[in-house]
């Protein structure tokens, strides 16, 4: 897993930073990861596609899901998140500066088969809920 940085925006919350964000992008474009933000701890899963689009599902532990749709900019992912019948906003995710290999990998991803993230994995570390 590699360190990433990220944020999301929502009316009333402003821009919120994702903390302790780690993501793994495998050679065929599958994404898994975890982190925490002002809402709580979460997991990520999803995929990169050949056309540069990215679909991710952010699952807050014991809470709701957030759907992320974005584009691979070659340096990270930018796009829009949404919660059905609730809201939407902008987001950005970027591999950490120390992860040049991860950045190189997202620039050359190949097509992947369809995959649904219905059962997010549990994070590998313990979170302290506030």
pLDDT digits (tens, 9 = 90+) for 14-66: 999 999 999 998 888 899 999 999 999 999 999 988 888 999 999 999 999 99
Are 40 and 29 spatial neighbours (Cβ–Cβ below 8 Å)? no
**Per-residue model confidence (pLDDT) at position 46:** 96
**Per-residue model confidence (pLDDT) at position 72:** 84
Instruction: Note whether residue 118 is domain-resident.
Output: no
Answer whether residue 116 shows pLDDT above 50: no
Q: Please indicate, yes or no, whether the overall pTM of this predicted structure exceeds 0.85.
A: no
Instruction: Note whether residue 65 is domain-resident.
Output: yes
Give the number of other Cβ atoms within 10 Å of residue 79's Cβ: 18
Q: What is the CATH number of the domain that holds 19?
A: 2.40.128.120
Instruction: Note whether residue 13 is domain-resident.
Output: yes
Answer whether residue 122 shows pLDDT above 50: no
């Amino acid at each position: 897993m590699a360190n990433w940085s990220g944020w999301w925006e929502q009316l009333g919350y402003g821009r919120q930073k994702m903390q302790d964000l780690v993501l793994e992008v495998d050679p065929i474009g599958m994404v898994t990861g975890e982190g925490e933000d002002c809402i709580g701890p979460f997991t990520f899963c999803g995929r990169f596609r050949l056309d540069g689009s990215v679909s991710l599902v952010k699952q807050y532990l014991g809470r709701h899901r957030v759907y992320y749709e974005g584009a691979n900019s070659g340096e990270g992912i930018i796009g829009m998140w949404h919660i059905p019948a609730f809201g939407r906003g902008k987001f950005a995710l970027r591999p950490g500066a120390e992860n040049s290999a991860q950045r190189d990998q997202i620039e050359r991803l190949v097509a992947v088969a369809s995959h649904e993230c219905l059962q997010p994995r549990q994070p590998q570390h313990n979170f302290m809920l506030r």
